[in-house]
Structure 1
């Protein structure tokens, strides 16, 4: 069945606007991340969650599509293709992150197995009816892990010049606006709203810590 460009039949216009701008900010975050990788040869995407991130995007770009409309589906796919470069860079530069020495030898194998695991996880999670029709439940499970891993990596990295404040703001605002949309889309889904608010707290903690180390907000 063909998707409408924007699904205003099942979702409120206000919620769709918040969700659309949030998705766009995540695409911008990926563009910034790609630029930072090319410049610094360092990946700010935590290696232990990189496979989950691209695994979710792969499932929701090719096996399933968000029922919010074609425009949102295209934003998922744009994020996936940008994440292909990010994941490749993780395989190439990921051991520059704080990683236990015993892990280095098996690092690439771990990343690939992790990617495969999350493809299966996200596929079965949706297939067996645990997810929403736009992937919010599984997406936010991964997002909480991502936000925590970013904060842990920041605490463990002495050279905070490797981290981009623009990326931190894009990631926080993107997730934050999508979280607002969930209050319109799924008012009875307390689980995903709790995860979204948790991401907001963790992401703002990340920005605060980075701001104190950088001495600037942008």
Structure 2
């Protein structure tokens, strides 16, 4: 196995751990643990590069994509179950499904068009890293908005950081001359590091206190 594949495999494993922790934390805290738009982009990317554009990255990446997609289905199920726990108070609940469908309808054509312009190999990388960059911003936003660790954990934060870092190293070894890729994954690592730091200082989610009124 080449060094590029080794770092790629490490990234896949770190992300599988991250997804498993997202699933666990969502069930434990009874809320969704992945921001809505991040979930939409992940499901779209993994579906496209498992079924619509197979063989990108070889059998190793295909297998990882399939595992990620299966994890995303579980994350989606948790989101559908607990979406009311963190739904914007200024939006009627009747907007939920139109908003849900609209997000997929907006994300999918952008990813398909990116592949059309840059090709399957480069398109998969550009869409993956832009997805990851937006996800990093969304996790930070979710932490700031919630104000505590509800639906979040240090396992998730570290898993995302290490998954991104190892993927970035693999991609850099593959094409060190691509300045755009370099800028994107450096920014992701900076944001993920900031997320780790801020989450470590955030108060823990007091589940027992939340449940106390219901027991009274």
**TM above 0.5, one fold?**
yes
Partner of 1:153: 142
Q: Determine the structure 2 residue equivalent to 1:64.
A: 53
Query: Which stretch of the first structure deviates more once superposed, 159-168 or 78-87?
Result: 159-168
- Distance in 2 between residues matched to 1:165 and 1:185, nearest whole Å: 30
Q: Give the aligned length.
A: 204
1:118-155 residue CA offsets vs partner (Å, 9 max, x unmatched): 22221221123256347111111111111001001101
| Counterpart for residue 3 of structure 2 | 14
Unaligned runs of 5+ in 1: 1-7
Q: What is the CA–CA distance in structure 1 between the aligned matches of 2:52 and 2:196, rounded to whole Å?
A: 34
Determine if the alignment matches structure 1 residue 41 to structure 2 residue 36.
no
Aligned-residue RMSD, C-alpha: 2.0
Offset of residue 80 of structure 1: 0.7
1:172 deviates by: 0.9
Q: Note closer, same or farther for the CA distance 1:132–1:190 as it changes in structure 2 (3 Å cut).
A: farther
Query: Unmatched 5+ residue regions in structure 2?
Result: 205-216
Query: In the alignment, is the contact (CA less than 8 A) between 2:56 and 2:124 conserved in 1?
Result: no
> Aligned-pair distance for 1:66?
4.9
Superposition misfits of 4+ residues, deviation over 6 angstroms: none
Question: What pairs with 1:112-151 in structure 2 (closer than 5 Å)?
Answer: 112-129=101-118, 132-133=121-122, 135-151=124-140
* Separation in 2, partners of 1:120, 1:48: 15
Distance 1:44 1:27 in 2: 15
Out of 184, 187, 202, which is 1:195 matched to? 184
Deviation string 1:98-124 (CA, Å, 9 cap, x unpaired) is: 625226431232122212332222122
The structure with the greater share of residues assigned to helix is 2
Structure 1 residue 165 displacement after superposition: 0.7
| 1:5 aligned residue | none
Q: Equivalent residue for 1:4? A: none
Note the 1:69-218 alignment, pairs <5 A. 69-97=58-86, 99-102=88-91, 104-129=93-118, 132-133=121-122, 135-214=124-203
Larger radius of gyration: 2
Q: What is the TM-score with the length of structure 2 in the denominator? A: 0.86
Q: Give CA deviations for 1:145-176 in whole Å, capped at 9, x if unaligned.
A: 11001001101113324321111111110011
Question: Which secondary structure state, in structure 2, belongs to the residue aligned with residue 135 of structure 1?
Answer: helix
Q: Secondary structure at the match of 2:121?
A: coil
Q: What secondary structure does 1:74 align onto?
A: helix
For 2:59 and 2:41, locate their aligned partners in 1 and report how far apart those are by CA, in whole Å. Answer: 23
State the Cα distance separating 1:69 from its structure 2 match.
Answer: 1.8
TM-score by length of 1: 0.85
